[in-house]
Copies of this chain bind each other. A is one copy, B any other.
Amino acid sequence: MQSSIYTDLAMEARELHPELQGVVEQSEESEGIRISRIEVKTEEASQKLEKPRGRYVTLDAPELTNRPLDLFEQVAAQLGEEIALLLGSLASDATVLIVGLGNRAITSDSLGPKTVEQVYVTRHVTQYLPEAFPHPVRSVCAIAPGVLGVTGIETMEVVRGVVERVRPDVILAVDALASRRAARISTTLQLTDTGINPGSGVGNTRKSLNQATFGVPVVAIGVPMVVYASTISQDTISLIADETGLHHDEETLKRLAEKVITENLGNMIVTPKDVDQIIADMSRIIADAINFALFDADYDEVRMLIS
């Protein structure tokens, strides 16, 4: 029954297909952070996992739920290193566009807009006052394009308009994700060089933000903020099926799941009560990581001038 369950995390998709060929994976752990690297290498694996071919890095730090300051800093530093790795060799004066996706008026969807508020923006300085920096720094700009239901404009139309003017060398996109497990909310971050690919990750170029559609590398950073309530019902039923041997009656169980979902859940999401705090913490971590990755040695200098 799991085929109908959606997840934005490559790691979770992999867990559902642990034996699948065409996937290279590797993981390590240090100081409370587990890093998993998955590469989806074949088209077949991509179809099965519903994730485009490319690299996915997941940082997992369960202790983040206790909000220790040290770990916040370690995760930001580690994430910054991973972003730098995925960006590869980027010119010291490259132009970078940061895109904060999502709806700022809905707390659980506001990770992107909240993050772009906190990144160091330099493009106006590099363009109008370049002598303010002693040597070239990255030219960083940032937008939160809003969502279709609020602006009446496809998110990617807004992004495209900006890209045509700014002509970035690379795009960094930040978005809230959906997970299958509530425990991943606030403890997991995913980084990928495949960009943003809503739904199955196949087709739908209108809503995609990736190298194929925008012509420049797109690195996407996301954090699971919700579990769809329907996932919970489906998980419950799967578990009952597994443990009670009711597999022969899968149709009945599916019908029951639909009934619960329709009657009780509608458009509900499962989220921690303190989602406001988690958004504040996670957007801070991601913005720090981006600032580290993009300014590196110039970090202090930029901070002083910009913020």
Taking beta carbons and an 8 Å cutoff, which residues of A are in contact with B?
Answer: 66-69, 105-109, 117, 121-124, 139-144, 146, 148-154, 157-158, 160-162, 164-166, 181-183, 185, 226-227, 229, 232-233, 235-237, 239-240, 243-244, 246, 249, 252-253, 256-257, 259-260, 263-277, 303-304, 307
Report B-chain residues with C-beta under 8 Å of the C-beta of A267: 272-273
22 contacts between A and B (CB under 8 A): A66-B304, A67-B307, A69-B303, A105-B117, A105-B277, A106-B274, A107-B276, A124-B152, A141-B152, A181-B263, A181-B264, A182-B229, A183-B266, A229-B270, A232-B233, A233-B236, A244-B246, A244-B249, A244-B252, A265-B270, A268-B271, A268-B272
Q: Which 9 A-B pairs have the closest CB atoms?
A: A161-B161, A123-B152, A141-B152, A121-B152, A236-B236, A182-B268, A157-B165, A268-B270, A236-B260
Q: Is the CB of B123 within 8 A of A153?
A: yes
Of the residues B105, B150, B162, B257, contact of A157 by C-beta under 8 Å: B162
Report B-chain residues with C-beta under 8 Å of the C-beta of A271: 268-269, 271
Report B-chain residues with C-beta under 8 Å of the C-beta of A259: 239
Of the residues B152, B229, B263, contact of A142 by C-beta under 8 Å: B152
Nearest CB to that of A243 among chain B residues?
A: B256
Distance, CA A147 to CA B153, complexed state (A): 20
Q: Is the CB of A149 within 8 A of B165?
A: no
Report B-chain residues with C-beta under 8 Å of the C-beta of A239: 256, 259-260
User: In terms of DSSP, what is the predominant structure of the interface of chain A?
Assistant: helix
Report B-chain residues with C-beta under 8 Å of the C-beta of A109: 273
Nearest CB to that of A159 among chain B residues?
A: B161
Distance, CA A119 to CA B271, complexed state (A): 26
A153-B166, A272-B268 as given contacts; A143 in contact with B117, CB under 8 Å = no
A233 → chain B, closest Cβ, in Å?
5
Q: Is the CB of B264 within 8 A of A232?
A: yes
Q: Is the CB of B151 within 8 A of A263?
A: no
Distance, CA A132 to CA B134, complexed state (A): 52
Sample of 12 more A-B contacts, CB < 8 Å, known A68-B303, A158-B162, A265-B270: A69-B303, A124-B153, A141-B153, A158-B165, A160-B165, A182-B264, A227-B268, A229-B270, A232-B236, A232-B260, A233-B233, A239-B259
A5 → chain B, closest Cβ, in Å?
12
Distance, CA A269 to CA B264, complexed state (A): 14
Of the residues B153, B246, B269, B270, contact of A165 by C-beta under 8 Å: B153
Q: Is the CB of A146 within 8 A of B149?
A: no
A263-B183, A273-B267 as given contacts; A124 in contact with B148, CB under 8 Å = yes
A288 → chain B, closest Cβ, in Å?
11
Q: Is the CB of A269 within 8 A of B270?
A: yes
A182-B229, A229-B182, A240-B256 as given contacts; A273 in contact with B264, CB under 8 Å = no
A123-B152, A160-B161, A270-B265 as given contacts; A304 in contact with B182, CB under 8 Å = no
